[in-house]
Structure 1
Amino acid sequence: MAGNVFNPQQAGAGTHTLTYSYSDSLGCGTASRVITVNPLPTPTAGPNLTLCAYETQTLTLTGATPTGGTWSGPGVTPDGRFTPPDTKLRGGIFTLRYTVTENGCAASATRQVVLAPSPTVNFPLSVPECTNFPQYTGLAPFTCTFEPVLTGGSYEWDFGDGSPISREEKPSHLYTAAGTYTVKLTARYANCTVETSFVPVIVGDVFVPNIITPNHDTKNETFIPRFSCRPATLRVFSRWGTKLYETDNYRNDWRADNLPDGTYYYHLKDADGRSIKGWVTVQR
């Protein structure tokens, strides 16, 4: 008791006699009340399950105790018939709850169902878009972060460049050279092994041209530095240091309009602070 409040959890299961005492001008008195605290049931929901994502047939959940409880959760009926949700072969982890009520007291236990993703070829990569050069995943040196199709397993990542296997769940890998790399993941969920290939990682090299020919023949018309996937600032100077052009978001469109042929100097700096300087010749 805490004042006039009875806490059944602190009292525990059993029969408890509560006594109420009072006094007035005629003397003292007491009254008693018996309260029975029933124990909570102790259900178990049975062992966790691992299925394949393409398995969609309904199955009956077994192994839960005591009998007579009620199931709840994604894809399950109250009487324990579970239909795996359609995950479009990506898989998923689902938590089902088994609730038992005894003597007006309810308690629950959970059971996890893992739908292992189906083997997938050319699964998309979750990487930032190389906005300036969308034909590439990134430009070398390029760090790519990978994520499995489904968490909750053990992993072996092959980055396709001869580097050691990574067993991290979400590894980051540095590609130092340009090339096309096939990434493969072997993931294990309980007794289920899934091999997944991803869309190739295409890494371009950094290349800044040293000449443009803006003569309206549609070839090499503008200054297109393959420098960064990120927005970049471009400044162009004359050989005497006079600033002739500047933009905070260069769109590969500088063509030396209203400037004579000759050599000009540039300074590029992207949103990550990466910068490069050099010269470019304009020849019409």
Structure 2
Amino acid sequence: TVDWLTAGGDLSVTVTGAAPTSCVNTQTLTVTVYGSVPSLPNQSTNVCQNGSYPTLIATPVAGAVVKWYLGPSATGTLVATGDTFTPTAAELDITTVGTTTFTYIQDIGCLASPDATYDVFVIPEPNAGLDSASSACMSDGPVDLSQRLGGTPDSGGTWNDDDNSGALTGSIVDPAVSGPGTFNFSYIVNGTGACAGRADTAVVTLTVIGASLPPVPDQSDYMACTYGDPPTLQATGTGITWYSDAALTNPVGSGNSFTPVDGQHIDMQTIGTTTFYVTQDEGCGESTAAEVNVILDGVEAEIGEVQDSYPEQDVGAIEVINMTSDDPPFEVSLEDDAGTVIYDWQAVEEDRLGNFTYQFTRLASGNYVAKVRDAKGCIKPLMVSVGLKTEVFIPNVFTPNGDGYNDYFKVLNKQPNTRIVITNRWGVRVFESDDYQNDWQAENLPEGVYFYVIEMGGQVYRGNVEVWRYKSSDGN
């Protein structure tokens, strides 16, 4: 009989077989009696950020089972049993620097040991920073590449001259030694301790700029029409400035595109070439200039004879002459000063002498814009006015045929209270009025010559007028 409550330590029991059996054997059974179970040691281990999960090891007393808990006490979540324990992502965040504490005990069934902790320290992985790209002028002096790295790199790494610039000493590059060009420099940080064997690399790309080269215009020559909109000039480069003079003293614009202003930077009414000068500054001083030409081509034309109109009848006319261009033939149109189209585009025929002329007719008095357009679409606008005649005009023929034109015997610039008497060739009166309204159409009278006496403004006008009712194929 053993008193398990008072006995402690190792208890040896020997059992010996006795006669009358012939099988005699002696065995010693050692029983360790615990009054309490000893605590396991507090432990810790380091692991590298984003590395492998560690295996935690315990050495329990004989017959004990090790239990692992998440947290600083055995009241936490039981996550494993056994002498070893490898946490998973559910128990250990290995991507974040910090400390995770596990508690482990040994349990013999009737008794358990006090809590012991097992701390896992996630230490930072090596960090070389972030790749970056920047520029430096040859005249800037030495450049510290560590100041060009992105992020928060670890110190103590090593620099490599990847492109053999010959200008690297430690972390310092001398652009005056490398000369112009683009060079890559690698920064390498090696891990230590739990991160031994790990490394991180970042690359600084440095563009060394000498004197700035001129920008590249999209076109060296821009073609445009006179009286049109100025073209938008384009150039590729950095820090671009546009000038109107070769001495580069009069800047007129900046940026990759520039639209000249008519009347300020360019005369869009005059055929010829205007040159602009464009430079760039890549941060190391302004370049020499590239030239960009705006070449204006267009139509030349003039207003010829202008015939004034009458208040009672639109008989005004405008002649356009001397049409010239590198791209004939021509078309013409006419608008009034309100922009209303009077004549839409009409083709102009070349005469036998090789000249192009055109006459607009049946115009009222007023201001007009005659436009001449050549084959490539260039337009020449011509401003012209048709005035009013003041003298009296009495026609010698009219055509009352119902075509809407010249259907009445109209006395132009007629005054109020005009008296008129019209007779046929035999002296028979066929029409008379004491206040003529320009409304005689020779109704029901044959074609032929008629005679008039007109009293107006203290004067008497005598003459004859012929009545025609012929209507041409074009309605006139």
TM bucket normalised to smaller: 0.3 to 0.5
TM-score of the superposition, structure 2-length normalised? 0.31
Q: Report 1 or 2 for greater relative contact order, CA contacts < 8 Å, sequence distance ≥ 6.
A: 1
TM-score of the superposition, structure 1-length normalised? 0.45
Structure (1 or 2) with the larger CA radius of gyration: 2
